[in-house]
Amino acid sequence: MTATPIPSDPFEPAFRAIEYFLTTGNEPDDLPDDIRNSEMYKKLVATMQELDKFVKGMAKGDLSVPLVLKGTVAGTLKQIQANLRHMTWQVQMIAAGDYDQRLEFMGEFSTAFNTMAEKLKETRTNLMAEIAARKKTEEALIQTQDQLRARIAEIESLQEILRDEAIRDALTGLYNRRYLNETMGRELARAGRSGSPVSLVMLDIDHFKKLNDTHGHEAGDLVLITLGNLLSAGTRKSDICCRFGGEEFVVILPDAAIGVAIRRAENWCQTFASQEIAFGEERLQATFSGGISSFPEDGETAEEVLRKADEALYRAKAEGRNRLIVSSH
């Protein structure tokens, strides 16, 4: 008995065509014409092409690809697309600083996304707190620096005042003997290098003890102040006026030859002698004697030039006071 052949499955070519299309994205060449030309097959191919285009677009990150198909599968894909669009928007909001965005779909991915958002929010909170604390610290540091600068300026000002007080005579405001000792050597050294002269005038108020005994120490102080003011007003900025001690004064005249020093000392002598000093109801008058020496004629050192001026002053006192004597060479 001859076996009856089992008829082939009529849908097998269609299944192979669908499998080939899903694998390669193309239609097979050997597909029978009756299947290729059937409306059902054409509709199936169009649907698969639409799905292929949509899925590939999402795989590349293009969430704008439309899907016009209907049905459960298409609806699910559209929902996934919508969810991805919403998630993209939420990521943009987080990037803009809104860390309260949360996903309520996509299972484990939502949990990971929400955990990331929580961590970012926590990090931002901690960072803002750190920035605020650092800003507060910087403000405190700036305030401390301002206070420190003000304190340094105050100290420098006080140091300048103390230095000035250390080299100034408190009564007359002229430089004191300490400053004279510090300065005169430098002046002579400078003059020695440049070859310029330096003259020195030493003054002593005549009969000062008698003036104090007669009118009191306040009157004596007033006479000292008056002579100090006269010397300050009658000298150049480069000249150095000092109260040497008691009623003695010394004036250093840089770049002044002996003749210039004599003329200027004579002017001081005449002005002081003619000046009436008001002391209460009284009018006081005083004179001074002076000795003049010069560098380098009278010595190469400050001690030698001072000694020559002092010797000349002693002679002026001995010869009757109210006069000037130039040191003998």
Structure pTM?
0.57
What CA dihedral angle connects 238, 304, 307 and 242, to 10 degrees?
A: 20
Residue 293, Cβ neighbours under 10 Å: how many? 29
Q: Where are the beta strands (DSSP E) in the chain?
A: 198-205, 240-245, 248-254, 277-279, 282-284, 288-295, 324-326
For the chain, give every domain's residue range. 177-326
* CA gap 249, 232 in Å, rounded: 12
Phi, psi of 161 (to 5 degrees): -65, -45
Going by C-alpha positions, the residue among 50, 56, 45 that lies closest to residue 18 is 45
State yes or no: is 27 an active-site residue: no
Contact 275, 287 (CB under 8 A): no
Q: List per-residue pLDDT tens for the chain, 329 residues long.
A: 455 454 456 667 767 777 777 777 677 777 777 777 778 777 877 777 777 788 888 788 888 888 777 778 778 877 777 777 877 888 888 888 887 878 777 677 778 788 887 888 888 888 888 898 899 989 888 998 988 898 888 888 888 777 877 889 999 999 999 999 989 999 999 999 999 999 999 999 999 999 999 999 999 999 999 999 999 999 999 999 999 999 999 999 999 999 999 999 999 999 999 999 999 899 999 999 999 999 999 999 999 999 999 999 999 999 999 999 999 65
* CA gap 141, 132 in Å, rounded: 14
End-to-end, the C-alpha distance of the chain in Å comes to 170
Catalytic residue of the set 182, 187, 247, 276: 247
Report CA torsion sign: 84, 86, 90, 95.
Answer: positive
Class of 177-326 in CATH: alpha beta
Contact 299, 305 (CB under 8 A): yes
